[in-house]
Amino acid sequence: MAKPLFGLFRKGKINSIAGEYAGRSNAVWEWDSRDIDRFVTALESYRILPKNAFDISKIKKKGGEYENVYWKIGNKAIRTPFKKQKETQKYSGAKLRKEFGGDAGAIMFDMINQIIPLALGFVLWQYFKKALEEAEGKKK
């Protein structure tokens, strides 16, 4: 609720657990999805966090170790003919982005929520402009 329409619906209210701990929402810095992406990119560039979950030095010449892919339907796990490469790293940049909202979908959601209010304001301004011109008799 804090993201759409520049936080209009949550103005003056606490938006996060950190804000609840601090006592007010403006006392904490709440990260946007682009901030999360930049932070993960910095971790990757300093080689603190690997970019992907596969350690290339541990992969064999044939392409590494593979594991079966299972589809969960209800309580049953159905084995498929597909295989995926085993992850050798517990954490990676891609996993961190996905879990904490720094992936492309989250960034796109934020951009859309910034553009839509501006576009609606422009359309409303055009509507009022045409209505005033018709009321003044300049345009019929």
Query: What is the per-residue pLDDT across 95-125, written as a single tens digit (0 to 9) for each?
Result: 999 998 888 998 898 888 888 888 999 999 9
- Cα separation, 138 vs 37, in Å, equals 51
Element (H, E) at 104: helix 104-136
Query: Binning pLDDT at 50, 70 and 90, where does residue 128 land?
Result: very high
Model pLDDT, residue 45: 93
| pTM higher than 0.75 | no
Residue 22 has pLDDT above 60, yes or no: yes
- Cα separation, 77 vs 79, in Å, equals 7
Model pLDDT, residue 120: 93
Top-confidence residue, 26 or 130: 130
Any bridge partners for residue 79, and if so which? 70
Residue 63 has pLDDT above 80, yes or no: no
- Cα separation, 101 vs 88, in Å, equals 23
Residue 61 has pLDDT above 80, yes or no: no
Percent of the chain scoring above 70 in pLDDT: 77
Model pLDDT, residue 5: 58
What is the number of other CB atoms lying within 10 angstroms of the CB of residue 36? 19
Q: Mean per-residue pLDDT for 129-140? A: 84
Model pLDDT, residue 10: 63
Instruction: Tell me the HSE value of 111 on the side-chain side, using a 13 A CA sphere.
Output: 8
- Cα separation, 90 vs 110, in Å, equals 28
Query: Binning pLDDT at 50, 70 and 90, where does residue 31 land?
Result: confident
